[in-house]
């Protein structure tokens, strides 16, 4: 039940997946193998295994679903990097920059299809439930990503709309990971929903943290270009809090930064100065903490044995204190 063992198990599964991957053309095999091995926290597959373990499941039944969730996640990242025009991920070139956009689109598609194929291994008793949750989630991620793109061109996004958007693009996949993990332990009652709620709240605070790291993290650790969200006019929580608390003069400066052509580092520097002035980081962290409290509340309601409870809590806390 040790975290390092769960992580190692996932890594081995990814290695095996890469070894056996044979999509007829190396044009697709190679970028997929590359992307899966340049890093990644593997947090979602770990959540699948943990949900299986806290409900005393047979871990072997959770391995393929865990890999499926990680492949699906990598599919969303490959397409997200095209949409966000991101050249760097996990400290390395993104697939569409190293190869090209068509390759990144098809590799993403192939990963998504492989994720569905892996779920075919689920027992008949849970197969339909697993598929239902997975497909619902996949569709929600698409909606969340479209909202994220729509918001780039809007200046009157509310914090409520933002929270809904990040729930869809990010949090529901964590929820699905834990729910499917619970299913593999044959937990299909309200406890499966509770552990899903825990993971969704955790996912919302995780995405808020992702927004914070994008502009306040250490670039070498985060592995993405610092301030990428600012360059793309993303309506992150920091941006919304800045717009909300700015006086007219500052608001005009923000508008100018968003609407005119600037050299990226200049734009990021100027926006970060505004963020500092308006102390948006502290305010964003308050939101992050409040969602983490909701996550803990859901976790408490599960009334797990102490050891299992501690395992989940410690993992969730480590995510909240991450540097990448």
Between 198 and 211, name the residue whose CB sits nearer to ligand IPE.
211
Look at residue 141 and give the partner it binds from Mg ion, ligand IPE, none, a contact being a CB closer than 5 to 8 Å depending on partner kind: ligand IPE
Q: Roughly what angle, to the nearest 10 degrees, separates helices 190-216 and 43-54?
A: 150
Question: Of residues 154-183, which lie at the interface with ligand IPE (CB under 6 A)?
Answer: 169-170
Q: Quote the Cα angle for 20-23-29, to 5°.
A: 75
Closest separation in Å from C-beta 312 to Mg ion: 24
Between 40 and 181, name the residue whose CB sits nearer to ligand IPE.
40
Closest separation in Å from C-beta 138 to Mg ion: 16
Residue 103 touching ligand IPE (CB under 6 A): no
Closest separation in Å from C-beta 145 to ligand IPE: 6
CA 37, 314, 134, 52 torsion-angle sign: positive
Question: Of residues 63-102, which lie at the interface with ligand IPE (CB under 6 A)?
Answer: 76-77, 80, 84, 86, 90
- Tokens matching residue 230: 């600012």
Between 55 and 292, name the residue whose CB sits nearer to ligand IPE.
292
Between 146 and 188, name the residue whose CB sits nearer to ligand IPE.
146
d(CA 38, CA 180): 26
Closest separation in Å from C-beta 83 to ligand IPE: 8
Point out the residue whose Cβ comes nearest to Mg ion: 84
d(CA 178, CA 69): 10
Look at residue 169 and give the partner it binds from ligand IPE, Mg ion, none, a contact being a CB closer than 5 to 8 Å depending on partner kind: ligand IPE
Q: Quote the Cα angle for 94-285-297, to 5°.
A: 105
Residue 41 touching ligand IPE (CB under 6 A): yes
Helix/strand/coil (H/E/C) assignment for every residue in 48-67? HHHHHHHCCCCCHHHHHHHH
Q: Which residues bind Mg ion (CB under 5 A)?
A: 80, 84, 210, 214
**Structural element, H or E, at residue 159:** helix 159-166
- Burial of 303 from C-beta contacts in 10 A (0-12 / 13-18 / 19+): exposed
Question: Residue 286: how many CB atoms within 10 A of its CB?
Answer: 11
What distances in angstroms separate CA 233 from CA 154, 155, 223, 229, 295, one per listed residue? 9, 9, 20, 6, 29
d(CA 22, CA 196): 34
What distances in angstroms separate CA 59 from CA 54, 127, 268, one per listed residue? 10, 16, 45
Which listed range, 58-66, 127-135, 207-215, 245-253, lies at the site for ligand IPE (CB under 6 A)? 207-215
Residue 207 touching ligand IPE (CB under 6 A): yes
Spatial contact of 255 and 239, defined as CB atoms under 8 Å apart: no
- Tokens matching residue 171: 């949090």
Look at residue 322 and give the partner it binds from ligand IPE, Mg ion, none, a contact being a CB closer than 5 to 8 Å depending on partner kind: none
Closest separation in Å from C-beta 80 to ligand IPE: 4
Between 213 and 311, name the residue whose CB sits nearer to ligand IPE.
213
What mask, x for binding ligand IPE by CB under 6 A, covers residues 118 to 157? -----------------------x---x------------
d(CA 188, CA 120): 18
- Tokens matching residue 16: 């095996």
Closest separation in Å from C-beta 229 to Mg ion: 6
> Binding residues for ligand IPE, how many (CB under 6 A)?
17
Q: Under the rule (CB under 6 A), what is the footprint of ligand IPE?
A: 40-41, 43, 76-77, 80, 84, 86, 90, 141, 145, 169-170, 207, 210, 214, 224
């Amino acid at each position: 039940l040790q975290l390092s063992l769960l992580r190692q198990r996932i890594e081995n599964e990814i290695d095996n997946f890469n070894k056996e991957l044979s999509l007829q053309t190396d044009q697709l095999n190679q970028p997929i193998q590359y992307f899966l091995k340049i890093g990644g926290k593997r947090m979602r597959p770990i959540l699948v295994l943990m949900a299986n373990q806290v409900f005393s499941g047979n871990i072997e039944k959770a391995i393929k679903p865990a890999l499926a969730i990680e492949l699906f996640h990598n599919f969303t990242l490959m397409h997200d990097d095209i949409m966000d025009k991101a050249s760097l991920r996990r400290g390395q070139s993104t697939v569409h920059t190293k190869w090209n956009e068509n390759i990144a689109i098809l590799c993403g598609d192939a990963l998504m299809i492989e994720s569905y194929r892996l779920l075919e291994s689920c027992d008949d008793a849970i197969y339909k439930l697993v598929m239902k949750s997975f497909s619902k989630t996949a569709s929600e991620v698409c909606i969340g990503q479209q909202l994220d793109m729509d918001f780039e061109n809007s200046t009157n996004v509310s914090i409520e709309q933002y929270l809904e958007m990040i729930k869809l693009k990010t949090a529901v996949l964590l929820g699905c990971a834990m729910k499917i993990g619970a299913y593999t332990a044959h937990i299909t009652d309200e406890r499966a929903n509770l552990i899903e709620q825990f993971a969704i709240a955790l996912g919302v605070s995780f995405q808020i943290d992702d927004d914070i790291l994008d502009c306040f993290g250490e670039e070498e650790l985060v592995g993405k270009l610092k301030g990428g969200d600012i360059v793309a006019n993303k309506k992150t929580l920091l941006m919304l809090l800045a717009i909300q608390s700015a006086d007219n003069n500052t608001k005009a400066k923000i508008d100018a930064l968003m609407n005119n052509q600037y050299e990226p580092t200049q734009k990021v520097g100027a926006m970060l100065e505004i963020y500092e002035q308006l102390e948006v980081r502290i305010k964003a962290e308050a939101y992050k903490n409040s969602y983490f409290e909701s996550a803990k509340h859901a976790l408490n309601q599960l009334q797990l044995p102490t050891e299992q409870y501690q395992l989940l809590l410690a993992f969730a806390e480590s995510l909240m204190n991450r540097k990448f």
